[in-house]
Amino acid sequence: MRRLMLCAALAAGAGVLVGCDGSKPTAAAGGGFKGVDITGAEYARELSLPDASGQKRSLADFKGKVVVVFFGYTQCPDVCPTTLAELAEVRKQLGADGAKVQPVFVSVDPERDTAELLKAYVGNFGADNIALRGTPEQTAAMAKEFKVFYAKVPGKTETSYTVDHTAASYLYDPQGRVRVYSRYGSGPEALGHDIKRLLSGA
């Protein structure tokens, strides 16, 4: 029952872009992208949160790069490390162009994800990766802006909970415009294809 409720919430909160049963999004891919083309979307336009050093960050800071934004948390058992590892693989395959790709990890668990923990966590997948951490209120506001769903799932103790969350990445072109919704599970080949297109000016 909880899984069904989660799927319904994800579909409503993410514009039916998330397939809870592993199916493809109902929105058709376009623009030659492997992910869902969301060019012109009226959401995911603003990102403003402190990084692990306390410096306020926004999408404007990364103009000239393809930005990949992903919401997750450091104690995530599978989706988050897999996503970050695939992104690191793609950047490596791009060679010199890998420096033109900026990963941005947004914590949905600011209560446990301290600045120090986040910095070390994302650093395992790339020294220039950036992690953002806001207050619970700021996190909720950003999740709403991105249509990202997240919710605590109680564990055996008060602090051993997990967090269900939308498992996808948002890709921005070098001009700072949101362009692609990349589903978790698409693989590094599809992600690399879309990043290359954005780097080429598509």
Q: Where are the domains of the chain?
A: 28-199
110 vs 47, 49, 80, 91, 201, CA distance in Å?
Answer: 16, 12, 15, 27, 35
pTM: 0.85
Q: Tell me what pLDDT residue 8 has.
A: 37
Q: Tell me what pLDDT residue 149 has.
A: 97
Q: Tell me what pLDDT residue 4 has.
A: 34
CATH of domain 28-199: 3.40.30.10
Q: Tell me what pLDDT residue 202 has.
A: 85
User: Among 103, 98, 112, 93, which residue's Cα sits nearest to residue 182?
Assistant: 103
Q: Tell me what pLDDT residue 30 has.
A: 52
User: Among 95, 98, 72, which residue's Cα sits nearest to residue 83?
Assistant: 72
Mean pLDDT split into 10-residue runs, the chain, 202 residues: 39 37 40 94 96 94 97 96 97 97 98 96 96 97 97 93 96 97 96 97 88
Which amino acid is present at 112?
Answer: R
Q: Tell me what pLDDT residue 126 has.
A: 96
Q: Tell me what pLDDT residue 13 has.
A: 41
